[in-house]
Amino acid sequence: MNRTSVRKTTRTTIRTTVSRAAFALALLVLSGCATNAAQRDAERLALYRAHAGEPVASMQYFGSLNGWTPLGEGAIALWTRPSRAYLVEFIGTCPDIDFARAIQVSNQAGRVHARFDDVRVLDGTSMPSIPCRIASLRPLDFKAIRAEERGLREARAAERQGGGT
């Protein structure tokens, strides 16, 4: 073996080692993000459940949604009007709801019924999505949720300021 081939072999080995290390680091970072995301979803779902009323059989649907917030794969907060929101929990999970760009909610004559209607994730392709059956509908006290979220943000900010001195 001459010097040139030894250098090429050494460079290839170093590149392979660096690439593997970078890949392992990326996996570690991504798994940490996934764990943090799952934990945040669980905490947020607990907050929404704490401010949800008793389950209702159905809710009024005005033909369009004002928005939604994914709360993990098992639930969403669904706004039918700016001042009216519901905690929608699914039977099982609703794959890809965390990454949905749009959703569709089935209804009968302007009402969405628990145990009979579905949420579908719309991903912009012509592929049909799996319907996510609605297990329960609970009206949300949106003002109380926002007040508690604001309090939590302020507490975290105070904690960071106290930890830095």
**pLDDT tens readout for residues 62-91:** 888 999 999 999 999 999 998 899 999 999
List, for residues 38-60, the tens digit of each pLDDT value: 888 899 999 999 999 999 999 99
Helix (H) or strand (E) holding 43: helix 3-50
Q: How many CB atoms lie within 10 A of CB 113?
A: 16
C-beta separation of 91 from 85 below 8 A? no
- pTM score above 0.75: no
CA angle at 109 for the pair 105 and 114, rounded to the nearest 5°: 50
In which order are the strands placed within the sheet that holds 75-81? 67-70, 75-81, 84-90, 132-139, 118-122, 102-105
Question: Is the per-residue pLDDT at 29 higher than 60?
Answer: no
Residue 164's pLDDT is 56
- Please list, residue by residue across 140-162, b when 16 or more beta carbons sit within 10 angstroms of its beta carbon and e when fewer do: bebeebeeeeeeeeeeeeeeeee
Quick one: average pLDDT of 135-154?
Answer: 92
Give CA–CA dist 136/54, Å, rounded: 10
Q: What's 137's DSSP letter? A: E
Residue 40's pLDDT is 86
